[in-house]
Structure 1
Amino acid sequence: MRPFSSALLPAFSPLAPQNRSLAWKTAAVVLGTLFLALSSYIEVPMVPVPMTMQTFAVTLVGALYGWRLGGLTIAAWLVEGALGLPVLSGGAAGFVHFIGPTGGYLFAFPVAGMVAGFLAERGWNGHRVALAFLAMFAGNALCLLLGAAWLSLMIGVGAAFTAGVLPFLIGAVLKSALAAAVLKGFSRNPKRAG
C-alpha cells in the first residue's frame, strides 16, 4: 500500500474549504491574509533577515485551509505586500523586498504552506501530532533552505547558511511545535468543520 493511502489516514480539513461556497472561500482568503500580516509584526530583529512568526502562520494556513486554498491565500498576501500594503515583516511593503535578501524566503512561503497543507490532508495533522509537527517542520525547513539558496547568490553559500539558516533552526522547531499543537486543538472537535 502507498504511504499516503486515504483508507489508512483520517481525512483532515478542519475548515473544510472544499465543502464551502465561493463567498466563504473569499472571506477565508481575506482573513488568512490578515492573520499572515499580523504574524509579520511579531519579530525578533536579526541580520540579514529578522525572525518572525510568518512561517508559523504560513504552515498553519496551509494545514487549516488545505494545499490549494492555503497556497492561494499565501500568494494573495504576498501580492498585497508587493503592491505596497504594509503586510510583510515589521510592516514592510513593496516589490523591493522580493529581490533583496528576503526574496527567497518570501517566494518559499506559498510552497511551504502548500507542502504543509498537502501533508495535513494526508494525515500529517492534529490526529497524529508527531506527524503534524513533521509537516510543520518540513514547511519551515523548506522556507529556510529556499531562502538561504537565494541569499547565497548575494553573500555566498557558507555565509547564507550561517546567517540565513542556523540562527532560525530553534525558532523553526518551536514554531512547528506550536502549529502542531494548534492543529491538535482543531482535531479534538470535528464539528468545527461543519
Structure 2
Amino acid sequence: MSRRVSSIRYMILAAMFAALTAVAGQIAIPLPPVPVTLQTLMVMLAGSVLGARWGAASMGLFILLAAFGVPVLSGGTGGLAVLVGPTAGYIWSWPLAAFFIGWWTEKMAPRLHFWKMVLVHFVWGVPLVYLFGVSWLVLAAGLEWNVALATGMLPFIPGDLVKVLIASSVAVSLNRAYPIIQPRT
C-alpha cells in the first residue's frame, strides 16, 4: 500500500474514533462533578488500535470539535467553556493517554496478549486521566485534594476497571483480525 493511501486510511480511522468518542459521550450517567461515560473506553481503544500518533490525533480532533462548539461531550455539550471548566482536565488528558497506550501497544505488536493490554490500559490509560482530571478539579474548581479524589476518582474506579477489561479484549481481537498498528522498531 502506498504511503499516501496509508495516511488517508489512518486519517479516516482517526476521524472514526473521534466520532465514536462523541457517540460514547452521549451515553452518560450524571454523577457530580464528572459524569460516567464510555468516552475513556474510546480513548483506550484509539491508542491500542490506531497506535500512538494516530490515537492521539483522533483525541486531538475530538477536542478541536468540542472547542468549535460541536456537541460531542457528555450530555451533548461543547464549546470553550467546557474545555476550561471543572472537568476539562479529564478531557485534555485523552490525547496523552491515547499516545502512551498506543506507544506501548506498538512496542508489543504483533505479540499482543490480553493481560499485557490490561496492564497497558491500567498503567497508562486510567492513571493519566485521573492525574490530569483530579489535579484540574483542585485547580479550577478549588476543591481540596481529598474531596477531589473522593468525588472525581474513587466512584469511577470500578467502572474504569470494567472499561479496561473491555478495551483490552476488543483491542487484542481487532489487532488479530485486522492489524492496523505496525510494530515499533
TM-score bracket relative to the smaller structure? 0.7 to 0.9
Alpha carbons 1:125, 1:132 under 8 Å: kept: no
Rounded to whole Å, the distance in 2 between the matches of 1:135 and 1:45 is: 28
Cα-Cα RMSD: 2.0
Rounded to whole Å, the distance in 1 between the matches of 2:67 and 2:130 is: 21
Aligned counterpart in structure 2 of residue 147 of structure 1, from 124, 133, 136: 133
Residue 158 of structure 1 aligns with which residue? 146
Rounded to whole Å, the distance in 2 between the matches of 1:164 and 1:113 is: 20
Rounded to whole Å, the distance in 2 between the matches of 1:127 and 1:115 is: 15
Aligned counterpart in structure 2 of residue 103 of structure 1, from 88, 96, 107: 88
Aligned residue pairs total 176
CA positional deviation for 1:29 = 2.3
Alpha carbons 1:63, 1:116 under 8 Å: kept: yes
Misfit runs of 4+, over 2 Å: 18-23, 124-127
**Quick one: which amino acid aligns to residue 161 of structure 1?**
L
SS at match of 2:81: helix
CA positional deviation for 1:42 = 1.6
Alpha carbons 1:105, 1:147 under 8 Å: kept: yes
**Quick one: which amino acid aligns to residue 32 of structure 1?**
F
CA positional deviation for 1:136 = 1.4
1:8-157 paired onto structure 2 within 5 Å: 20-123=5-108, 127-138=112-123, 139-153=125-139, 154-157=142-145
CA positional deviation for 1:126 = 7.4
**Quick one: which amino acid aligns to residue 153 of structure 2?**
V
Q: TM-score, normalised by structure 1?
A: 0.84
Aligned counterpart in structure 2 of residue 173 of structure 1, from 140, 143, 161: 161
Structure 1 stretches lacking a partner, 5+ long = 1-15
